[in-house]
Amino acid sequence: MPVYPKWILTLRRKALNFFNRHSAPRWVVFAADILVVFAAFIIAYFLRFNFSLPDDREHVLIYQAGIATAVYAGYCLLFRSYSGLIRHTTLTDVTLVFVVTTCSAISLVGLSALASFSGWSPVLAIPLSILLIHYVAVSLFLFAGRIAIKIIFRFATGTSQNKKQVLIFGAGELGFVVKRVVLSDSRYGFHVTGFIDDDKQKQGKKINGINVFSPSVLTADFISKHKIESLIIAIKALSVDKKSSIIRTAVNMGLEVLDTPEVDKWLAGQLRMPQFRRVDLEDLLGREPIKLNINTIKQGLSGKTIMITGAAGSIGSEIARQLTSFQCEKVILVDQAETPLFYLQNELREKFLDVRFRIIPADVTNTERIRQIFEEYKPHIVFHAAAYKHVSLMEENPHEAVRVNVGGTRIVSEMAIKYGIEKFVMISTDKSVNPSSVMGASKRLCEKIVQSRARQKGHSTQFIITRFGNVMGSNGSVIPIFAKQIENGGPVTVTHPEVYRYFMTIPEACQLVLEAGFMGHGGEIFVFDMGQQVKIADLAKAMIKLSGFIPDKDIQIVYTGLRPGEKLYEELLTDGELTIPTHHEKIKKAHVEEIDGKEVMEQIDWLLKNLYSLCACEVVQAMKDLIPEYHTTNGKFKEVKSAHAK
3-class DSSP state for residue 113?
Answer: helix
- CA-to-CA distance for 528 and 490, rounded, in angstroms? 34
Active-site residue identified among 431, 448, 567, 586: 431
Let me know: does 150 contact 215? Beta carbons within 8 Å.
no
478: which residues sit within 8 A by CB, 6+ positions away?
470, 501, 536, 539
> Which one-letter DSSP state was computed for residue 553?
T
Q: What angle do CA 516, 331, 504 make, to 5 degrees?
A: 40
- CA-to-CA distance for 416 and 25, rounded, in angstroms? 64
DSSP state string for 221-281: HHHHHHTEEEEEE--SS--HHHHHHHHHHHHHTT-EEEEPPPGGGSBTTB--GGG-EE--H
What CA–CA distances, in Å, run from 54 to 64, 372, 416, 498?
A: 15, 101, 101, 95
Active site residue 431: yes
3-state DSSP of 132-163: HHHHHHHHHHHHHHHHHHHHHHHHHHCCHHHC
Torsion of CA 616, 617, 620, 622, to 10 degrees: -110
* CA pseudo-torsion sign 50, 51, 52, 54: positive
* CA pseudo-torsion sign 237, 243, 249, 254: positive
Type and span of the H or E element at 57 = helix 55-79
500: which residues sit within 8 A by CB, 6+ positions away?
533, 534, 535, 536, 568, 569, 570
Q: How many CB atoms lie within 10 A of CB 645?
A: 19
Q: Is the peptide bond before 507 cis (omega within 30 degrees of 0)?
A: no
Report CA Rg, the chain. Answer: 35
Let me know: does 416 contact 452? Beta carbons within 8 Å.
no
279: which residues sit within 8 A by CB, 6+ positions away?
233, 247, 251, 257, 258, 259, 546
Tell me the one-letter amino acid at 244: S
501: which residues sit within 8 A by CB, 6+ positions away?
469, 470, 478, 533, 534, 536, 570
Angle of the 314-323 helix axis to the 506-517 helix axis, nearest 10: 60
- CA-to-CA distance for 340 and 318, rounded, in angstroms? 13
Q: Which of 339, 359, 337, 335 is nearest to 349 (CA)?
A: 359
- CA-to-CA distance for 105 and 422, rounded, in angstroms? 77
3-class DSSP state for residue 595?
Answer: coil
300: which residues sit within 8 A by CB, 6+ positions away?
381, 423, 517, 518
From the number of C-beta atoms within 10 Å of its C-beta (0-12, 13-18, 19+), residue 84 rates as: buried
- CA-to-CA distance for 2 and 639, rounded, in angstroms? 78
- CA-to-CA distance for 312 and 315, rounded, in angstroms? 8
- Could you list the active site residues? 431
